[in-house]
Structure 1
Amino acid sequence: MSFSLNAWFESEKTGQWGASPVHTNTLDVLFYRKISAEHAAERLLSDVNLRDSTQENAWGFWNLLFHAAASLPDHVDVLVQLILAIRQAEASPEGPNKLTQSLWSSWDDAHSFYYTWRTLDSSKSDLSSDNLTGADRWINFTSFSAKLVQQGDEMFMRECGIQAFFDIRDTLETTLFSHANTLLPHSITSAEECLTTDIEAAACWIIHGGSKLQSVSNESFGSGWSRGLSRKTEFWDGEPGFSTDRWHFWAQRLETLAKEEFMSERAKEPVTKAVKLIEEVARAPIWSIAKEPCASI
């Protein structure tokens, strides 16, 4: 489910944060395929507010893109291309491309926001003209993030891929009872609904980013994540982090959970695709992100 483009742009122009017309106009022509992602990146980086990249301006810009990803799933692919183009842009004579320095913290904030609101907005209310639920936005944002990991460089894996591990682990390696205990007191979805949403999101991580996630080495995330990667769970006390055995276990868990009565029909299709992809990648040659050129930011 998603916004119409016209409704979305109107909401962004008149919304709380008052998105810059330069940014919304550029996205408008990009979404209608009137310019390329590279041209859009050049146009955006020529904007003095983004070139100078104060924290507030950068946050507002990335928030606009992440909101688009969560609201407009039909345009996620071109958004991914735009972000990659911005990241790869050369420094201009007027100043360096500092915008990507705030990409990671802004993405992390957006991830936390959509994760939290997945259980706080289950009704399609009159206050939300896009007719999306919090769960819809969470799943859309996860699919977008997975594509960034799949198509991006080492930094996308290091900054976003580690969160993919935690999202998948925390969904597939906990019981329904434990999942219920993580709900906020004012959540308006049930534990079953929340777990179904998280299972679908985990499947999206695997479908759109799994071939890269499944072959990454844990060392690629750096020593700072060793404790998080090695934490034991209700269902796993084997090798830490990503491992072949753990991927097989996740495939088994997905198959088991897909048979639960609380699982929605909508979630079952991506779960089936995710299981199939895990099996296919397990038979493919090993790839290591450590062999890729390291990004500077």
Structure 2
Amino acid sequence: MVAAFGQHVVDLRHAIGRSSFHKGGVSALHSCARGHLSGQQPQNSFLLWHQDRRHETLSRRHPRRSRRATRGKNEGGSPPRPRQELRYPFVSVCCLLDNLNTPHLLCYPRSSTFPQHQLAIFKATISTTTEKMSKTGSISLQVLRDNPVEEGETNAQVVDALEAALNVNDDALIPQAAKRLAEQLDSITLARDGAADKESEVENARYNVYTTLLAAVQQVPADHEAHRRFALVLHDLAGLDGHPTWKGLEGFAICNRDAWNDPSLSFEPVKDPEAYEKWCNLNAFVATLLSTGAISWRELPIWELRDGLEESLEELSQENKDTRVVVATLWIKHTGNFIWEQALSGKLEDLDETDSRMLRAGELYHGQPGYSRDRWDFWKKRLGELRSQVSESRSSAVDEAIGAMTELEGKN
């Protein structure tokens, strides 16, 4: 664990176990933080972290002397030496996981308490660390073990197999990982001997695997490298000989349709506090999978770009607005090449009635359905208009999407 005090970043990974942190409480930051908070801090003191609604208090205590050593020193004389306290107001605390799944704690100071140059150091350190850890690091699916999507003895085995595939850390290992995943899933899901309907048994097992898979990728941050490598693993899995259950990812579209639930479109209050983040993560993965050619769902990019860029967002809450726009940027980021190629080659006469309806324009775009250069230009212009309407933390995603579109245009 790492805590930022002043200009220092202090390693506190031994101060607290992961389990206690995830339960929401940090009870103590131990002596490995010595000397970083104050140059006057005694070498043998340690830090305790107390939290309330207004501030955190770092209480510095001297190790308790034995009663024999202190006997008589305070009797009839001066009162005992009071405990020293350093009130250090933090504005927020952020938990991160590094590539070893080690939890990190970053404490942000209030700007009114520290000089601006120190605050800039904090922001730069935290921003760099957050970006690095969100894009790399091992993926844990423990939440799916604790709260299984599908019941049954095989669920944990499926989760283990998916977790291993999500943690492939080298492109050269992707073909091997795909073969291993196919073998593992075959051993888990093959129909039992004597089953009345083996085909139905396989279909049910495949549905359970894909449902768990889609729940798994929702646990992966949207900008994490694992999305790309796992998408390549599935691409290779779909083309493997000798594993017909997974050939062409048959049945995956049905499972994805069941999972395709945009919380920003819900008429009911969203109960899951992580629903928006999971939705972004899911879109990042499916967009990446589309870019590999493993699936050919050409309607999905338009659906999400239409919801985010072609519909009025004025009446939406800030969270819903941010989510719609961010999802649109994710599709541009992860499958921009596909969208650009479709935009250059798309023609109205190539669309039948069904496609025209599925790929129709939103209320703000008055062009034709389907992909076109005109629609591409509208999306880019609209992103520029929405940049000032999204939260500050989301504006970089808009800038990145616009930059990606400009770069693609420059290649032609």
TM-score by length of 2: 0.55
Q: Which has the higher strand share?
A: 2
Deviation at 1:16, TM superposition (A): 5.0
- Seen in structure 2, the aligned counterparts of structure 1 residues 98 and 280 have a Cα distance that, compared at 3 Å, is closer
- Give distance in 2, aligned partners of 1:109 and 1:2: 31
Give the SS at the match of 1:77. helix
Letter in 1 for 2:162: L
- Give distance in 2, aligned partners of 1:66 and 1:121: 19
- Which residue of 365, 374, 384 corresponds with 1:245? 374
- Which residue of 176, 195, 203 corresponds with 2:313? 176
- Seen in structure 2, the aligned counterparts of structure 1 residues 98 and 208 have a Cα distance that, compared at 3 Å, is closer
> Does 2:337 align with 1:205?
no
Deviation at 1:268, TM superposition (A): 0.8
- Which residue of 76, 79, 88 corresponds with 2:227? 76
Give the SS at the match of 1:214. helix
5+ residue gaps in structure 1? 125-132, 181-189, 286-297
- Give distance in 2, aligned partners of 1:7 and 1:277: 30
RMSD in angstroms over aligned alpha carbons? 3.2
Give the SS at the match of 2:158. helix
- Give distance in 2, aligned partners of 1:40 and 1:117: 39
Deviation at 1:134, TM superposition (A): 0.9
Deviation at 1:222, TM superposition (A): 6.2
- Give distance in 2, aligned partners of 1:119 and 1:255: 31
> Does 2:145 align with 1:12?
yes
- Seen in structure 2, the aligned counterparts of structure 1 residues 117 and 90 have a Cα distance that, compared at 3 Å, is farther
- Seen in structure 2, the aligned counterparts of structure 1 residues 2 and 104 have a Cα distance that, compared at 3 Å, is farther
Q: Does the 8 Å CA contact 2:318/2:391 hold for their aligned counterparts?
A: no
Give the structure with higher Rg (CA).
2
> Does 2:157 align with 1:22?
yes
Letter in 1 for 2:187: D
Give the SS at the match of 2:364. coil
Give the SS at the match of 2:394. helix
Q: Does the 8 Å CA contact 1:119/1:135 hold for their aligned counterparts?
A: no
How many pairs does the alignment contain? 257
- Give distance in 2, aligned partners of 1:113 and 1:259: 23
Question: Could you tell me which residue of structure 2 aligns to residue 42 of structure 1?
Answer: 182
- Give distance in 2, aligned partners of 1:113 and 1:174: 15
Listed one character per residue, the Cα deviations across residues 164-204 of structure 1 (whole Å, up to 9, x for unaligned) are: 11110122112124xx4xxxxxxxxx533212111001000
- Give distance in 2, aligned partners of 1:65 and 1:114: 20
- Seen in structure 2, the aligned counterparts of structure 1 residues 120 and 50 have a Cα distance that, compared at 3 Å, is farther
- Give distance in 2, aligned partners of 1:170 and 1:14: 31
- Give distance in 2, aligned partners of 1:99 and 1:232: 30
Question: Could you tell me which residue of structure 2 aligns to residue 227 of structure 1?
Answer: 357
> Does 2:185 align with 1:58?
no
Give the SS at the match of 2:366. coil
5+ residue gaps in structure 2? 1-94, 102-137, 192-198
Q: Which has the higher helix share?
A: 1
Question: Could you tell me which residue of structure 2 aligns to residue 144 of structure 1?
Answer: 285
TM-score by length of 1: 0.74
- Seen in structure 2, the aligned counterparts of structure 1 residues 232 and 80 have a Cα distance that, compared at 3 Å, is closer
- Give distance in 2, aligned partners of 1:45 and 1:69: 17
Listed one character per residue, the Cα deviations across residues 201-258 of structure 1 (whole Å, up to 9, x for unaligned) are: 10000011111111124479963312232x3432222232111121111111101111
Deviation at 1:148, TM superposition (A): 0.8
Q: Does the 8 Å CA contact 1:26/1:44 hold for their aligned counterparts?
A: yes
- Seen in structure 2, the aligned counterparts of structure 1 residues 259 and 114 have a Cα distance that, compared at 3 Å, is closer
Deviation at 1:135, TM superposition (A): 0.8
Letter in 2 for 1:244: R
- Give distance in 2, aligned partners of 1:144 and 1:2: 21
- Give distance in 2, aligned partners of 1:278 and 1:203: 10
Letter in 2 for 1:143: A
Listed one character per residue, the Cα deviations across residues 17-63 of structure 1 (whole Å, up to 9, x for unaligned) are: 23623322222333443974223333234326257563322221111
Q: Does the 8 Å CA contact 1:69/1:141 hold for their aligned counterparts?
A: yes
- Seen in structure 2, the aligned counterparts of structure 1 residues 219 and 55 have a Cα distance that, compared at 3 Å, is farther
Q: Does the 8 Å CA contact 1:117/1:135 hold for their aligned counterparts?
A: no
- Seen in structure 2, the aligned counterparts of structure 1 residues 122 and 151 have a Cα distance that, compared at 3 Å, is same
Deviation at 1:97, TM superposition (A): 4.2
- Seen in structure 2, the aligned counterparts of structure 1 residues 201 and 46 have a Cα distance that, compared at 3 Å, is same
